[in-house]
Amino acid sequence: MKHPIFAVCIFVLGRAIAFSQSPPKQAIDIKDADVKEVLKGAPPAVDQQLKVVDVGKYNLGVGIIHRGKTNDRADGVISGIAHHNQTETYIIVSGTGTLVTGGTMIDPKEISKDSTAYKVLNGPSANGTVKDGYYARVVGPGDIFIIPPEVFHGWVKIADHVDYLSVRPDPDRVLPAGYVNPAIKR
């Protein structure tokens, strides 16, 4: 079954290409079958980059993420991440859970420049926790969220799963232009 959300993703990619300095000469496709192939082998709570495209002024990454059931802490502390230079857009494809954003991170730890998370997924970011001052909302299929740089984001109260597309403009070109997930490389 195709999701209208994929049309939104292709639209976002198209708009990014239209406003770039030296855009590709052809639209970039990410087919529903490609997304399903990557999700099929995706472990819970691991981002899977689908493609990274050089769109002129920046690189643009599109990923699919599968979050499985959460084991929420009794003390109310929530784990998550904040990206330093990327605005990230989430497009919920399936499942439900509670997306937490904002608040002040407690004891943030920079992710390693040698990690896949840094080099392929997110660029400069910090992992940490929050306990107070955040905003939590229940999300479901079709919901879209824009998370600016330096805004903490994490998940709680996932009873089964949440799958979502992530669109990540990369102004510093940390993400590798031309990357294609090995599961869909042709």
pLDDT in tens, 84-106: 999 999 999 999 999 999 999 99
Higher pLDDT, 23 or 105: 105
Name the residue ranges covered by the structural domains of the chain. Answer: 4-170
pTM assigned to the model: 0.82
- Outline where DSSP puts E strands in the chain: 46-54, 59-68, 78-83, 88-95, 97-102, 106-110, 125-130, 134-139, 144-147, 153-156, 161-170
Query: What digits encode the pLDDT tens for the residues 108-141?
Result: 999 999 998 888 888 899 999 999 999 999 999 9
Task: Judge whether residue 144 has pLDDT over 60.
Answer: yes
SS3 122: helix
Inform me whether the pLDDT recorded for 71 exceeds 80.
yes
Q: How many CA atoms lie within 13 A of 156 on its CB side?
A: 19
Instruction: Give how far Cα 83 sits from Cα of 63, 65, 118, 133, 160, Å.
Output: 15, 16, 10, 18, 26
The whole-chain average pLDDT of the chain stands at 87
Please give the residue that has the higher pLDDT: either 135 or 184: 135
Task: Taking residues 23-35, report their average pLDDT.
Answer: 86
The CATH architecture to which 4-170 belongs is Sandwich (2.60)
Alpha-carbon distance 87 to 102, whole Å?
14
Give me the pLDDT at residue 6, please.
52
Is residue 17 scored above 50 in pLDDT?
no
Q: Over 90: is that where the pLDDT of 25 sits? A: no
